[in-house]
């Protein structure tokens, strides 16, 4: 299993600014994922972040808007750049540990609630 923390837990930002969200895991993991969950909606995968390589973005998400860093096996950041009110959402990171014999089991952080004014 894995314990994941995110910072900040919530923030209110002005449009046009950027916010960097941190994700810390209590163990070394290969794969980390970033999701967005808009109010009342399901989760949408933004990108997959592997240590030592460029993040892989899903359709509709680009690196200029959501740059991701993965400097080591326990940490990642997601930046939401040049924010607009449409970016208001909960951003979650997750990891796949794979030590319990379960396929596709990911552990999620508590999320960062972002409001853009």
Partner 1 sequence: LAKTTQPISMDSYEGQEVNITCSHNNIATNDYITWYQQFPSQGPRFIIQGYKTKVTNEVASLFIPADRKSSTLSLPRVSLSDTAVYYCLVGALYGGATNKLIFGTGTLLAVQP
Q: What are phi and psi of 85, to 5 degrees?
A: -55, -25
Residue with smaller CB distance to partner 1, 14 or 104: 104
Residues from 32 through 71 that contact partner 1 (CB under 8 A):
33, 42-45, 48, 58
Q: Name the minimum Å distance from CB 94 to partner 1.
A: 7
Q: Does 92 bind partner 1 (CB under 8 A)?
A: yes
Number of residues near partner 1 (by CB under 8 A): 24
∠ Cα 95 18 92 (to 5°): 20
Pairing of β 31-37 and β 43-50: antiparallel
Residue with smaller CB distance to partner 1, 51 or 81: 51
Q: Name the minimum Å distance from CB 16 to partner 1.
A: 28
Structure tokens at 6: 């995110």
Tell me the β-bridge partners of 34.
47, 93
């Amino acid at each position: 299993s894995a314990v994941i923390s995110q910072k900040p837990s919530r923030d209110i930002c002005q449009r046009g600014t950027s916010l960097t969200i941190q994700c810390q895991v209590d163990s070394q993991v290969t794969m980390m994922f970033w999701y967005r969950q808009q109010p009342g909606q399901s989760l949408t995968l933004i990108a997959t972040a592997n240590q030592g390589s460029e993040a892989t973005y899903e359709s509709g998400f680009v690196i200029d808007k959501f740059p991701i860093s993965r400097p080591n096996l326990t940490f990642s950041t997601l930046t939401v750049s040049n924010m607009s009110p449409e970016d208001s959402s909960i951003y979650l990171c997750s990891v796949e540990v794979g030590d319990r014999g379960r396929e596709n089991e990911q552990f999620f952080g508590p999320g960062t609630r972002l409001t853009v004014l």
